[in-house]
Amino acid sequence: MASGDTLTGNLVRDPGETVGTYAIKQGTLANANYSITYVGDNLTITQTAITVTADPQTKAYGTVTDPALTYKITAGALASGDTLTGNLVRDPGETVGTYAIKQGTLANANYSITYVGDNLTITQTAITVTADPQTKAYGTVTDPALTYKITAGALASGDTLTGNLVRDPGETVGTYAIKQGTLANANYSITYVGDNLTITQTAITVTADPQTKAYGTVTDPALTYKITAGALASGDTLTGNLFVTRRDRRHLRHQTRHLGQRQLLDHLRRRQSDDHANRDHRHRRSADQSLRHRY
Within the chain, which residues score under 70 in pLDDT? Answer: 246-272, 274-295
CA 14 to chain centre: 73
Q: Half-sphere exposure of 82 toward its Cβ, with a 13 Å CA cutoff?
A: 16
CA distances for 293 relative to 4, 62, 290, angstroms = 207, 126, 5
Question: Which neighbouring-strand residues pair with 53?
Answer: 72, 116
Model confidence pTM above 0.75: no
Res 256: pLDDT:
47
Strand 57-60's sheet: what is its strand order? Answer: 57-60, 118-123, 97-102, 89-90
The closest of 71, 75, 76, 78 to 53, measured between CA atoms, is 71
The closest of 148, 111, 113 to 133, measured between CA atoms, is 148
At residue 257, the 3 state secondary structure works out as: helix
Res 137: pLDDT:
97
Using a 10 angstrom Cβ sphere, with 0-12 exposed, 13-18 middle and 19 or more buried, the burial of residue 51 is middle
The closest of 216, 218, 269, 207 to 242, measured between CA atoms, is 207
Res 244: pLDDT:
81
Res 29: pLDDT:
97
Instruction: Enumerate the H helices of the chain as residue ranges.
Output: 246-294
Please check whether residue 178 is in contact with residue 194, taking contact to mean a CB–CB distance below 8 angstroms: yes
**DSSP-assigned states of every residue in 189-250:** EEEEE-EEEEEEPPP-EEEEPP----TT--SPPP--EEEEES-PPTT----S-----HHHHH
Res 205: pLDDT:
97
Residues 6 or more apart whose Cβ sits within 8 Å of residue 174: 198, 199
The closest of 126, 150, 119 to 63, measured between CA atoms, is 126
Res 72: pLDDT:
98
Res 252: pLDDT:
46
